[in-house]
Structure 1
Amino acid sequence: MRKKKILFFIYQMGAGGAARTLLNIINNVDRDRYQPVLVTLNFDGSYEHVLKDDVTFIKLDTKRLSRSIFKLASIIRREQIDIVFSTIPRVNTIAILARIVSFTRAKNVIREADNLGGTWKENIQLLAFGLIYRLSHQIISLSEGVKDNLVKRYKLHPKNIKVIYNPVDIENINELANTGTISPEHEALFTTDQKVLVTAGRLVHQKDHHTMLRAFALVHKDIPSKLVILGEGPLEEELLALSKELGVNEDVHFVGFQTNPYVYFQRADLFVLSSVHEGFSHVIAEALATRTPVVSTNCKSGPSEVLDNGTYGQLSEVGDEKQLARNIKQVITLEQQDISTLQEKGFERANTFHVKKIIKDYEQVFNNVL
């Protein structure tokens, strides 16, 4: 029996949660039944080197998503693809159109990864995406909150949407955390009596590092502490200036993108997320997998689902630096016995999203579509 070919299409195998999710699916999908093919635009991605050797990896000779439709259609025909899997709205749209013009029997499975919309312009755009999404064969939402948003703003029928949480590769995360090393120039950050807070994510408005810095300044007044920020982005200079304005710049450290963030998570006392919106918040589940306590904003829609409405980590209102600071203080001043209990509860929660469990949900979708 011929293995079914699944083409995974993404902008690039970069440093974001969407790329990590695709990586986990691609590397763990059953090789007895499926043969993965990865297609990206002509960019270098941070996760390319950890793809399994048996993955067919194709880069299109363009960096423009709008010019990739016919190139992708050609690959769908040539590789005799059975399923085209994609994520992120514009990429999903291109994948659906490419499948249509390929004139093959391939099927589209698309994944929505965030709570988008809000302004009238964005909402109209989402309605247009919704019209195209209806031409797919299965829509996957990575959380119940994102599903609600698909129904509300994309005007999609809930029966056509299946919720599958992000897969977390627990064993791989722990191996990297336990055997990896922190860059020598960062080692001193963790050999200290100060409490160490860590966060990870693109330095963009969605992640709201401004609120995090203001919250950290409130914590810093009362508790000797450091904030280690993993990630890159256009707001770095602005955030550096804010840390100086707040008088905490000597204890705020921008360490850039790290291919192994888990060793940083594991060495920290607390992981903090201050996002304005998320789809699932993969990074929270990964932090729990390293047995690191979590404090997060209660943004739509992922953190409350990952943390089960605060059972496995503190939740704060979006943009409220005072509440975020109070929650941070509450956790980092706990007795060691209470910290240990929190760590084990978090690790138990992370296993809810274990890749071995989640991949079976994806494989069931692939089977149903075929």
Structure 2
Amino acid sequence: MKKIKVVFFIYQLGSGGAARTLLNIVNNIDRGRFEPVLVTLNYEGNYEHYLHEDVPLIKLPTRRLRSAIIPLSRVIRRESADIVFSTIPNYNTIALLANLLSFTKAKNIVREAAYLGGSFSSNLKLRVYGMLYKFAPRVIALSQGVKDNIVKRYKVNPEKITVIYNPVDLETIQSNAINGEMQKEDQVIFHSEAKTIVTAGRLVADKDHKTLIKAFSKINQKLNVHLFILGEGDLEKELKQQSEQLNVQDNVHFVGFQKNPYVYFHHADLFVLSSKREGFGHVLAEALATGTPVVSTNCKPGAVEVLDHGTYGKLCEVGNADNMADAIYEVLTIDDSQREQMVQKGLKRAQEFNAQDIVKQYEEVFVQHANQRTRDRM
């Protein structure tokens, strides 16, 4: 039987959640039935070294997204793609237009990963995306909340939307967590008497590290504790200044992007997510998979769904430093038996996002629409 050729398109295989999701799908898709090809713009992505060697990586001769339409259309035609898969609205737009210009029978599958909209201008923009999504026979939402938002703000028919949670590569995460090594200067603190808190994500406003640092300053008055912030972004200088103003600069560590963040998660006493909103909260599932208790804002829709309204981790209010500090302090001071209960519940929840199981759901969608392509040819 002829394998189904799937062209995956993303801006770059960088350090964001979308790249991790795409990587997990590409690496775990059944090679007996599918032939994946990954296409990016002309960038060196942080996650490229994790891409399995049998997956062709094609870099388009441009770094501008809008300039990618024509070269991507040529790749779609040259590769005789059955499916063109993309994620995030801007990239979906390019993939849809490129596929139209390829003059092939390839089918677009687009994925929505974020809970977008709210203002008049952003809602209007989402309506435009929704009009373009008419050219895609299937839209994948990474949570029920994201699906509801697509229906409400993009005006997409709910019958063409499928909810598929993010795939989490449990085997790789747990192996890296146990066998990896953190930076030597950080090992000293993790092996000391101090409590350790870890967070990971881009240093941007939506991740709201400011509230986390403010909450940490309150915890720091009660406990011997250190905060490790993994990630890069425009707000790094501003966040460091905030740490100095709150006089916690010696206990707040900005360690930048880490190829293996899971060793930090695994050895931490607590993982904290302070986001204002998350479509899914992929990093929460990863933290649970490393056996680390979690505190998260009740940012909707993702974090609430991942933690099932607080069943698998402690929730606190978005932007409320006092409430966050109380939640963090409560988890850091529970006894060993309570902590173990949290860990085991978290590991059980992480199993529900196992990449091998989640990717089968993607495979079903690809097969369905690849078969439709075959019928279109006949």
TM-score normalised according to structure 2 size: 0.97
For residues 180 and 99 of structure 1, the distance between their equivalents in structure 2, rounded to whole angstroms, comes to 41
Show CA shifts across 1:33-69 (max 9, x none): 1000000001110111111111011000100010111
Q: What residue number does 2:289 align with?
A: 289
SS of 1:139's partner is: strand
Q: What residue number does 1:153 align with?
A: 153
Q: What residue number does 1:81 align with?
A: 81
Q: What residue number does 1:176 align with?
A: 176
Q: What residue number does 1:348 align with?
A: 348
**Residue 139 of structure 2 corresponds to residue 139 of structure 1:** yes
For residues 185 and 319 of structure 1, the distance between their equivalents in structure 2, rounded to whole angstroms, comes to 31
**Residue 106 of structure 2 corresponds to residue 124 of structure 1:** no
Give the alignment of 1:270-289 within 5 angstroms: 270-289=270-289
SS of 2:276's partner is: coil
For residues 207 and 296 of structure 1, the distance between their equivalents in structure 2, rounded to whole angstroms, comes to 11
Which amino acid is the alignment partner of residue 170 of structure 2?
A: I
Show CA shifts across 1:72-119 (max 9, x none): 000000011110000010000110111111000100000000011122
**Residue 273 of structure 2 corresponds to residue 261 of structure 1:** no
Q: What residue number does 1:334 align with?
A: 334
Q: What residue number does 1:212 align with?
A: 212
For residues 162 and 79 of structure 2, the distance between their equivalents in structure 1, rounded to whole angstroms, comes to 27
The offset of 1:316, in angstroms, is: 1.0
For residues 205 and 267 of structure 2, the distance between their equivalents in structure 1, rounded to whole angstroms, comes to 27
Give the alignment of 1:33-48 within 5 angstroms: 33-48=33-48
Which amino acid is the alignment partner of residue 157 of structure 2?
A: H
Q: What residue number does 1:240 align with?
A: 240
Which amino acid is the alignment partner of residue 282 of structure 1?
A: H
Q: 5+ unaligned residues in a row in structure 2: which ranges?
A: 371-378
For residues 185 and 8 of structure 1, the distance between their equivalents in structure 2, rounded to whole angstroms, comes to 39
Q: What residue number does 1:55 align with?
A: 55
Q: Which moved more, 1:116-125 or 1:267-276?
A: 116-125
SS of 2:234's partner is: coil
Give every structure 1 segment of 4 or more consecutive aligned residues whose post-TM-superposition deviation is greater than 3 Å: none
Which amino acid is the alignment partner of residue 346 of structure 1?
A: G
RMSD after superposition? 0.7
SS of 1:81's partner is: coil
Identity of aligned residues (%): 55
For residues 363 and 26 of structure 2, the distance between their equivalents in structure 1, rounded to whole angstroms, comes to 11
**Residue 11 of structure 2 corresponds to residue 11 of structure 1:** yes
Show CA shifts across 1:193-246 (max 9, x none): 111000000000010000001111111111111100000000000000001111
Q: What residue number does 1:112 align with?
A: 112
Which amino acid is the alignment partner of residue 286 of structure 1?
A: E
For residues 45 and 33 of structure 1, the distance between their equivalents in structure 2, rounded to whole angstroms, comes to 27
For residues 12 and 149 of structure 1, the distance between their equivalents in structure 2, rounded to whole angstroms, comes to 26
The offset of 1:301, in angstroms, is: 1.1
For residues 327 and 11 of structure 1, the distance between their equivalents in structure 2, rounded to whole angstroms, comes to 37
Q: Which moved more, 1:16-25 or 1:189-198?
A: 189-198
TM-score normalised according to structure 1 size: 0.99
SS of 1:31's partner is: coil
The offset of 1:185, in angstroms, is: 2.5
Q: Which moved more, 1:118-127 or 1:302-311?
A: 118-127
SS of 2:188's partner is: helix
Q: What residue number does 1:358 align with?
A: 358
SS of 1:221's partner is: coil
